[in-house]
Every structure is written in C-alpha cells, then in structure tokens.
Amino acid sequence: MVYVLADNIISPLGDTSEDNYQAVKAGKSAIRAYAPMTDGIPDGFIASLMSADFEDLVFRSAGKAIDDSGINVADDRSVFILSSTKGSIERLGEEADENLYLGETAQRIATRLGFTTHPVVVCNACISGCAAIILASRLLQLGVYDHAVVCGADSPQRFIISGFQSLNAMSTETCRPFDIERQGLNLGEAAATVVLSSRFPSGISAIGRSDNRVWTIGHGYVKNDAFHISAPSKTAEGLLEALQQTMENVEKDDLAFVNAHGTATLFNDQMESIAIQRAGLSDVPVNALKGYIGHSLGAAGVFETILCMKSVDDHTVLGTRGYDEIGVSGKVMLSAEHSPTHKTGFIKMLSGFGGCNATLYAKSVESSSVSLREMRVGVPSVFRKTHHVRIIPEGAWLDGRFLPVDGEPNEKSLLTTIYKKMIGDYPKYYKMDGLCRLGFIASELLLQAEKTEGISIKEHQRNRGVVLFNRSSSISSDKKYLASIADKDNYFPSPSVFVYTLPNIVTGEIAIRNDYHGETSFYILPEKNEEQMQTLIQTAFLDRQTTSLLTGWIDYEDREHYEADMHIASINKV
C-alpha cells in the first residue's frame, strides 16, 4: 500500500495546499485577462499566471512538502520525480541547450533538495502528473524505494502560450468545462507536490490529519487511444480501458466523485463524457477544476489530486466553476455547486496529446484498519529481450547485423533512406519530426524482425506498451518552433511544429501505426543509465495486461546527433 505523507501547492491562489483549497471552496478563480506580450505575442489571452522561475517554483513546492513529511531524502531509498511538459523552455535561445534539458533541470533541483539518487522526469503531455504518481506508486510497491517525492510543474509563457494559440485551443473567456457554450481552455501556472511512502506514517497529526485517517494511492493505469496525435478518440477507447481496469479494484459505492480532465475544449470534454458513460459511471458525480486555476499542464494531475483529497476530507464534492448547461452527449452528473459527501474515494482522469490517457484511484482509510505488514507486489525481475536495433548517423544495426542501406545520390538522411528501402508504406512519416522519425524507423525494424518469428501485429494490439527514454526531450522541434516566434515582426507560430515539441508524441505515433492500446510513457533522464531504465521498464509490467514493450533509448538533437537503442521486452514465460 502507498501512503500520502504530505503535499503542497503553489499557484496564483496561494502558497499552500490549504490556501488553494479554501480559495477554490470559496469559488475564487485566478484566471484573468492578459494584454499582448511585448516580446512577441501580439494577441491578448486569458490565463492564470505567476511568471515564476521554473526551478525555483519546483524547489519551493517540493521543499515545503518534504519538510512537512519529515522524511530524510539524502539516503538511497528516496527518489525525486518531476512531472513537466516543457520545464524551463522559455529560456531557450538565452543559454546553453543542455542547461534546459529536463533531466538536467531535475538533477539540479534534486541535488539542491538533498537527494542522492538519480531523478526521473515524466513527460507524457497533459497526463504527466497522474503518470508520475502512478510511476512513484509502482516504484514503492516494487520496493525499489521507500519514499517518492512527486512534483508537477509548468510555467507557461511566450513559447507555450503562442503554441496553444496556434492550435486555436484557448478560450477568450474563463473556461467552462462540459458546458454547451465552452470555447476552449485557459492556461495555468502552478507547482504541486505529493510525498508518497510505502511505510505507514507514524504520526498522523504530523501530516495535517487529526481524525486518524490516511490517504492511500490505489491502482492507476495509462492507456493509448491509437487514434490521433492531437485529437481525442471519438469512442474514448484508451480512457475507457484505463477506467475499466481501475474499476476492477474499486467499489463503486465508495466513489465520492470522478474528477475529470475537463479542459473545456470541444472534443476532450465530449470524449470524457463518453468514457464515463461507457464505464457505467453516469450516476457518480463528476467535476472539473480548470475553471479555478486553468490548465496547469504537467502540474494538473498532482494539483487536482491534492484538491480532491482535501475536498473528500472536507466531505465536499467541489462544483465545476463555469458550468451551466450540459454540452456533451455522454450522460454525466455535473453541477456548478458544491455538494456534501461522506464517501471516501475518488478517481482522477487525464488525457493528452499523443493519444495518452491516465486514471488514478485514491482513498482515505482509517489508520486502525491498515495492516502494518510490509507489502510487496510480485513482477518478473528478468525479462526476455527479443530483437535489438541501434541507429546512429553512421549506420543502423538490427540484432547485431549491419544494415547495408544505399541511399539515393541526393538523399541526406539515413532515416529517410531506410524508410524508402525497407518500409515505404506510411506517407505520414514525412510529416513527423526527427525524434518521431527515429522512433518510427527503429520500431518498424524491430517489428519486421519479430514477423520473421510468425508473430503478427494483432497479437499485441491490446497488451503491448511503448516506453521510451532520452535526455534532450524534443530539442530539435523546440528550436524549430522557437524560430517561428522569435521575430515579432515575422510571427508565424506553427501548430504542427508545436505539437511535436512534446516528446511523447513519438510513443503516440508508434501506437497509431500498430493500433497499440497499452501503456505509452516517455521518461527524460539526466543521462543514459541502463540500470535506471531497466527499473522503470519493470514498473510497466505492474499493469497485468501488459505482456511486452517496445522500449529503449531514443535521443534526437539534430541530423548529426541522434541515437536509437531499442528492443522488445517480454515477460519471461518460465
């Protein structure tokens, strides 16, 4: 069992979790109008911002939660997990690229906080916060660590704001989740931290509880739609599968509410309503919290989970600010008003670009009912690695065999040469950025090798995941996008380029190509670390539906600097 020891939220609504909760309960919103930015955004917008330094914001939130928890993070049994979509990307072009790599950023923050272990960055678009809590919970269940500090944070400024404007996703008024008049989302800025432990908290009062109750994190799952890199599935396949798997271990009568992603965009809210109805949850209250703080990206999953815990402690189902009249076809139970509850659990949902979806169950329990016997889950520690591909600018190797690929006289790209000679049937390849092309080519070569064993794609559509790692995130597309907004007199932000500034899009591209509906996750590390990668790969198999993964290292900085080092990992059938 995984316990919540402490939490902290820093947002425009306050510097503590309690401040934020009380502001939300009072119906306050930090969302307001902003004038055009003199450094490059010609149009005004509606958002909730602090314009904080990203690293300082994370340090302050995580530091406060660590202090409240009373744990010592300096041993080798504690880990720092950062959830963010773009980190300090707003400084791109002002300092060395490597300083802005999220793995490097996480390492600096972790060291400053006193950690001695290697940090992990979860970069799974909008589901990053929930995915980070799920990862932390799994690491604790496996016994890899005793404590995990999960901080979700993003600080939207010119880079991110212009990108969402280019997608026409931002509302010209305060957002209205699930409402018939909803126009889109508002961006928000926040850092939110939870401290999790596999050890039962010895002093309940020390973590702000006076009623002998403690919060536990239950089952969480990540699933892919395999539908589109930026549009939600019309049938909500990925979110539905995650919900159904979560509900296998949840008593429906114990659910106080389902906290939806609720971005107030046309298709996201519609998709969520379909998933809720198809999962048989139409009679469970649903709420969305974006109307109070906006969409805080990598912070959203952590931020909203903390608010949900506090509302259950307060016997309250928070109302959906901005909601008035139902504007979705799925049957869901929504209200703008707060309502009482005496139930003790909730489900948190998130969905994001790349087709990813996450669900998480949390429950408040009586401390006297908790068994103090240490629990460890079982999962195979040794996996069968079948097939291996390595691609660098100098060449490609499949299962140790060099691939002699002769390109056309004018062909400058090894990747495109391989595509033309060995694949050639997926024109969408030409729309991808460099990172996605690299991942696509590597996965195609692995699957071609697998086909020689007589294994078909259909055998893995429901139980295969894609888990990838790198250190430079999506730096190549980041630079390309920055160039489109750098000159305010020649301002042309590209929505297609902006989407590819999310590194997890590569996992979505692979899932769409092969109709994979399993877990898709993208992790950023300070450096390539085989032992750390193996541990993180192991956590994916805690989803009992997962029997194999396309996994490994995939880093693309530019045409002259890239590496794919991927393999297929399967559960050992002994």
What is the model's pTM?
Answer: 0.96
pLDDT tens digits, 282-297: 999 999 999 999 999 9
Whether 375 has a pLDDT exceeding 70, the answer reads no
Q: Determine contact, residues 448/570, Cβ cutoff 8 Å.
A: no
Q: How far apart, in Å, are the Cα atoms of 185 and each of 375, 519, 572?
A: 41, 26, 45
At 282 the pLDDT is: 97
pLDDT for res 574: 40
Distance CA 571, CA 379 (A): 9
pLDDT surpasses 80 at 273: yes
pLDDT score of 207: 45
Q: Where are the alpha helices (DSSP H) in 101-230?
A: 102-113, 128-142, 158-166
∠ CA 19-301-304, rounded to 5° = 30
| pLDDT band, residue 208 (cuts 50/70/90) | very low
Six token digits for residue 145: 């660590």
* Higher per-residue confidence, 405 vs 361: 361
One-letter identity of residue 573: K
Instruction: For residue 542, give every residue at least 6 positions away whose Cβ sits within 8 Å of its Cβ, in sequence order, or none.
Output: 138, 141, 142, 377, 379
pLDDT class for 371, splitting at 50, 70, 90? Answer: low
DSSP string, 28-82: ----EEEPPBTTTB-S-EEEE-----HHHHHHHHHHHHHHHHT--TTSTTEEEEE
What tokens were used for 200? 């039962």
Strand 78-83 vs strand 120-122: parallel, antiparallel, or unpaired?
Answer: parallel
42 vs 206, which has greater pLDDT? 42
Torsion angle defined by CA atoms of residues 264, 270, 274 and 275, in that order, rounded to the nearest 10 degrees: -40
What average pLDDT does the segment 204-214 reach?
59
Q: Which residues, at least 6 apart from 380, have a Cβ–Cβ distance to it below 8 Å? A: 541, 571, 572
pLDDT at 406 over 90: no
- At position 481, the amino acid (one-letter code) is Y
Q: What pLDDT score does 296 carry? A: 98
pLDDT average, residue stretch 427-438 = 97
Residue 178 CA to residue 276 CA, distance in Å, equals: 13
Compute the distance between CA of residue 548 and CA of residue 238 in angstroms, rounded to an integer. Answer: 18
- Length of the chain as a residue count: 574
**pLDDT tens digits along 457-475:** 676 778 899 999 999 999 9
Average pLDDT estimate for 57-74? 97
Span of 38-42, 69-73, 288-292, 491-495 with lowest mean pLDDT: 38-42
DSSP state of 509: H
**From 137-146, 188-197, 402-411, the region with the lowest mean pLDDT:** 402-411
Q: How confident is the model at residue 376 (pLDDT cuts 50, 70, 90)?
A: low
Asked if residue 111 has pLDDT above 60, the reply is yes
pLDDT mean across residues, the chain: 93
Strand 255-259 versus strand 345-352 pairing type:
parallel
Range 242-271 average pLDDT: 96
For residues 449 and 507, give the distance between their C-alpha atoms in angstroms, rounded to a whole number: 19
Res 412 pLDDT > 80: no
Structural tokens at position 35: 């004038």
CA–CA separation, 519 and 545 (whole Å)? 10
Q: Say if residue 394's pLDDT is above 90.
A: yes
What pLDDT sits at residue 89?
Answer: 96
**Is the pLDDT at 42 greater than 50, yes or no?**
yes
pLDDT digits (tens, 9 = 90+) for 313-323: 999 999 999 99
Plot region of 87 (φ>0 → left; ψ -120 to 50 → alpha; else → beta): left
Burial (0-12, 13-18, 19+ Cβ within 10 Å), 573? exposed
Of 404 and 109, the structure prediction assigns the larger pLDDT to: 109
**Confidence grade of residue 204 (pLDDT, cut at 50, 70, 90):** very low
Q: What is the pLDDT of residue 384?
A: 83
Of residues 412 and 74, the one with the higher pLDDT is 74
Distance, in Å, from the CA atom of 118 to the CA atom of 559, rounded to the nearest integer, reads 29
Per-residue model confidence (pLDDT) at position 571: 80
Lowest-pLDDT choice from 29-43, 88-102, 108-122: 29-43
With 0-12 / 13-18 / 19 or more C-beta atoms within 10 angstroms meaning exposed / middle / buried, residue 91 is middle
The per-residue pLDDT for 490 is 81
Please give the pLDDT value at position 512. Answer: 97
